[in-house]
Amino acid sequence: MGLFDEVSVIGPSPFKCASGHVQGGPFQTKSTEDPAMERYYLAEGRLFLADRLCDWDDDASAPEQSVEHVPDSEQCILVVKRPLTAQAMTRQLCVYRACSRCKEVEYRSATTARFRDSLESRSPWVEYEITLIDGKLARVVPIRLETREDVIRQLKEQGLSVVEETARR
């Protein structure tokens, strides 16, 4: 059905891309029992489920918000308190995302090859399998961590034309 859930990390993250960029998420996962665009958080080694975002439109369930002043500054910080409920889930979840800190690899897709300026891009993939036991993070196993070189090689294997910095000038 194409539905997934999201998992984000609060605090130190056990996830890194192949180039060492720490990944806080959000990761996508389709491994929960019934993926439904829920927002999960990993914090202090435990799994939490957040109140649904779409419920925020409803005043009755709006999260608690406040404004904090930054000392000696004109700036303020919007503080949103969003209730989290600890989950006693025992399950293996496959979580994945593209690294947003690795530089994207630009390429010309087969369908847009005729148009010189039509570029597509792909970022290195980050995929882990995490094991939760009673909601506690018990194991973190890297499944697929791509470097830019991996992405470039795969695109070339698919017969796609990779556009690197030097070639574009």
Residue 19 binds Zn ion, judged by CB under 5 A: yes
Q: Which is nearer to Zn ion, 13 or 19 (CB)?
A: 19
Within 98-127, the residues that bind Zn ion by CB under 5 A are 99, 101-102
Residue 104 is classified by DSSP as: P
The closest of 21, 29, 82, 76 to 55, measured between CA atoms, is 82
User: Would you give the binding string for Zn ion spanning residues 39-78, x where CB under 5 A is met?
Assistant: ----------------------------------------
60 torsion bin: left (phi>0), alpha (psi -120 to 50), beta (else): alpha
Shortest reach from residue 108's CB to Zn ion, in Å: 23
Alpha-carbon distances, residue 34 vs 5, 28, 38, 42, 85 (angstroms):
9, 13, 10, 18, 17
Residue selected from 7, 17, 105, 155 as contacting Zn ion according to rule CB under 5 A? 17
Within 83-102, the residues that bind Zn ion by CB under 5 A are 99, 101-102
Q: Which is nearer to Zn ion, 101 or 139 (CB)?
A: 101
- The residues, ordered by sequence, that sit 6+ positions from 79 with a Cβ below 8 Å of its Cβ are 65, 66, 67, 68
Contacting residues toward Zn ion, per CB under 5 A: 17, 19, 21, 99, 101-102
